[in-house]
Amino acid sequence: MVIRVILLLSGKISSKKQAVKGGCIMKILYAASEAQPFVASGGLAEVAGALPKALVEEGVDCSVIMPFYKNQIPADLVKNAEFVTEFYIPVGWRSQYCGVYKVQVSGLTYYLIDNEHYFKRDFGIYGYYDEAERFAFFSRAVLETVKNTGDIPDVINSNDWQCALIPIYFNIYYRYHHDMRRIRNVFTIHNIAYQGRYGFDLLEDVLSVPWHLSTLVEYDGDVNLMKGAFEIADKITTVSPTYSQEIFEPWFANGLDRALKGKEYKTCGFLNGIDVDVYNPATDSTIAEKFSLKKKSGKNTCKTALLDKVGLPSGDDSPVISIVTRLVEHKGLDLVRAVFDEIINLGYKVIILGSGEETYQGFFYGMKEKHPDRVSFTCGFVPELARMIYAGSDMFLMPSKSEPCGLAQMISLRYGTIPVVRATGGLKDSIIDCGDEGNGFTFQSYNAEDMLEAVRRARHHYNDKKSWGALVTRALKADFSWKRSAQLYIGLYKELCSWD
C-alpha cells in the first residue's frame, strides 16, 4: 500500500494522452449521493462537483450521476434538464419507477435519478427512516441507467456508503451482461465512520441481496454496506494518502479494520483539492478587500472587517485564531476546551463558527460571556461569515482526532491564513510544520498540551513580522487545485483498465 502511494504521487502521470486509447476517450461515471452545485451537506458534494470537472479538463469523458432531490435542488439549475429515459427497478419484492434526466452545468454532464417517493422530501437529503431503501434504489438505478442507455463507462467511481451497493449489485446482477462486463468499479471512502450498517431483516426485502450471498455484506452480525464494497470493488481509494494507511488501524477504522485486512494491495489515497477559482482572494467579491500574493495589504482590511462583523475590538495587533467546524467530538474540540483559557492568555482573539453537540455549543457560549472582548461564537453555519473568517483570520485551528482529508486548511492557506493542525489524515499530507518550507504548525499526539504548544509557537512566529510575512507568502503560493488529484485518478483508472 505504501509503495502504491509513493508511485502515484511521483508526478510521472501525463494527463490527456493517457485518457485516450485507440481513438477512444476514457469514460468515467462518478456516482455520489450529493454534488455541487445542486445540493450539498458536506465535503462529498464539493468533491463530486470539482473532481469530475477537473477530469474533463484533463481529457476524460466524465459524468456525474446523483439523485434528483426535487425540493432541494434550485429550480434554475434544472429548468433545462432533458428527459432521457424511464424504467422500473426491483427493490426487494417491489417494482419502483425510475426516471433519468440529464443536464449540463459548466461543461459537466449530470444524470439525475428521479423518484419522488424517495427523493422529494421536505427536510434535507438525509436522515429518513427508509435511508437504506432510498439508496438501494439509487444504487440499482445507476446500473440500470447504464444498461438502458447503452452509455457504458470504463469505470464507475462510487462514493461512500450511499453508493456502496453499486459494486455489490454489479457483482450480483450485471457482471456477465455482455455490454457491461468490462466495467471496473472504484469505491471511494470519504469517512469510514459512516458505513451503512443495518439489521439483517433488510437483506432481501429491501436491499435485494440474495440470502446465499449474505456473506458479502455481513459484518459483526449486521449488514454493513461499506464492508460489501470493500469485498467487491476493484480498487478502494480514500481522500488522502495518510488516511489510506490509517484506516487499517483500529483507532481510525471504526471497527472495519478487520474487513480491510488483506486489501492493502487494492487500496490507495489521493489528496482532495479545492476549487481555486471559487476560493480566490484576488477575485472574491464577498470579502472586504481583495488581495493577492502581489498585493497582500488587503488581508489587514479583511481582518478589521471580520472583527467588526463579530463584535470584537480591532484597535490592537492581537492575533486572531479561528475555528469553522461541526461541533462534534472527533473534531478535537475536547482539546480546545481543556486549554481554552491558556489560549486567551497568550493574547489571542478567538472566533468560532459552527453548530453541533450541546456540550460544545454551551461551552463556547460560556467562553463568549467570560471573555466578551476576546471571544466570538456564532452558532450555525453562515457561508458569508465563513468566507470572512478564512480571509480575515491570522490562524486557523484544526485539532482533529481524525480527518480523512479536510478542506478548511487548504482554503485557509488560499487566503493567507496559517493552519494549526494535528498531523492526521489529509492534515498531515497538506500541512508542513513551520520552517524554511513549512506552511503551518502541526502537533502529533491527541493531547491538549501538545496542541497548546503548537498554538504557542504560532504566537511566537506572529510576533516576528518578517518571519510571519514570509509564512503568509508561502501560504498564498500553495497549490491545492484539483488538477493534481485528477491526474492521479486518471493514472489509477488507466491502470485498472489496462490502458498503456
Q: Which domain, by its residues, includes 30?
A: 2-273+483-496
Helix axes 298-310, 383-392, angle to 10 degrees: 130
Which has the closest alpha carbon to 478: 235, 205, 274, 258? 274
Residue 20 is predicted with a pLDDT of: 66
Which has the closest alpha carbon to 112: 28, 26, 57, 35? 35
Is 439 within the bounds of a domain? Answer: yes
Is 290 within the bounds of a domain? Answer: no
How confident is the chain (500 residues) per 10-residue block, as mean pLDDT? Answer: 36 50 82 95 90 95 97 94 96 94 95 97 93 98 96 97 98 92 97 96 95 96 97 97 97 96 96 92 96 93 97 94 94 97 98 96 98 97 94 98 95 98 97 88 97 97 95 94 94 89
Whole-number Å distance between alpha carbons of 307 and 288:
12
Q: Residue 173: which CATH number?
A: 3.40.50.2000
Residue 499 is predicted with a pLDDT of: 79
CB of 367 within 8 A of CB of 377?
yes
Phi first, then psi, for residue 112 (nearest 5°) are -115, 125
Do β-strands 320-324 and 395-398 pair in parallel, antiparallel, or remain unpaired? Answer: parallel
Number of domains in the chain: 2
Grid cell listed for 8: 502515484
Q: Does one domain contain both 303 and 260? A: no
Q: Does one domain contain both 190 and 251? A: yes
Whole-number Å distance between alpha carbons of 497 and 182:
8
Q: Does one domain contain both 399 and 445? A: yes
Is 55 within the bounds of a domain? Answer: yes
Is 285 within the bounds of a domain? Answer: no
Q: Does one domain contain both 214 and 99? A: yes
Residue 316's alpha-carbon distances to 69, 342, 346, 348, in angstroms, are 48, 19, 14, 11
Phi first, then psi, for residue 417 (nearest 5°) are -105, 130
Is 284 within the bounds of a domain? Answer: no
Is 312 within the bounds of a domain? Answer: yes
Q: Does one domain contain both 267 and 329? A: no
Residue 21 is predicted with a pLDDT of: 65
Is 293 within the bounds of a domain? Answer: no
Residue 41 is predicted with a pLDDT of: 86
Q: Does one domain contain both 325 and 467? A: yes
Give the DSSP letter of residue 366. Answer: H
Q: Does one domain contain both 487 and 458? A: no
Query: Which segments of 318-423 are extended strands (E)?
Result: 320-324, 349-354, 375-379, 395-398, 418-422
Residue 11 is predicted with a pLDDT of: 36
Q: Does one domain contain both 461 and 489? A: no
Q: Does one domain contain both 84 and 104? A: yes
Residue 365 is predicted with a pLDDT of: 98
Q: Does one domain contain both 321 and 460? A: yes
pTM over 0.85: yes
Residue 70's alpha-carbon distances to 52, 215, 391, 497, in angstroms, are 23, 36, 34, 36
pLDDT tens, residue by residue, 353-362: 999 999 999 9
Q: Does one domain contain both 253 and 314? A: no
Grid cell listed for 18: 493517457
Query: How would you list the strands of the sheet with 184-189, edge to edge?
Result: 82-91, 94-105, 108-114, 61-67, 27-31, 155-159, 184-189, 235-238, 267-269
Do β-strands 155-159 and 27-31 pair in parallel, antiparallel, or remain unpaired? Answer: parallel
Non-local (6+) Cβ contacts of 345 within 8 A are none
Is 85 within the bounds of a domain? Answer: yes
Q: Does one domain contain both 208 and 305? A: no
Strand-pairing partners, residue 349, are 320
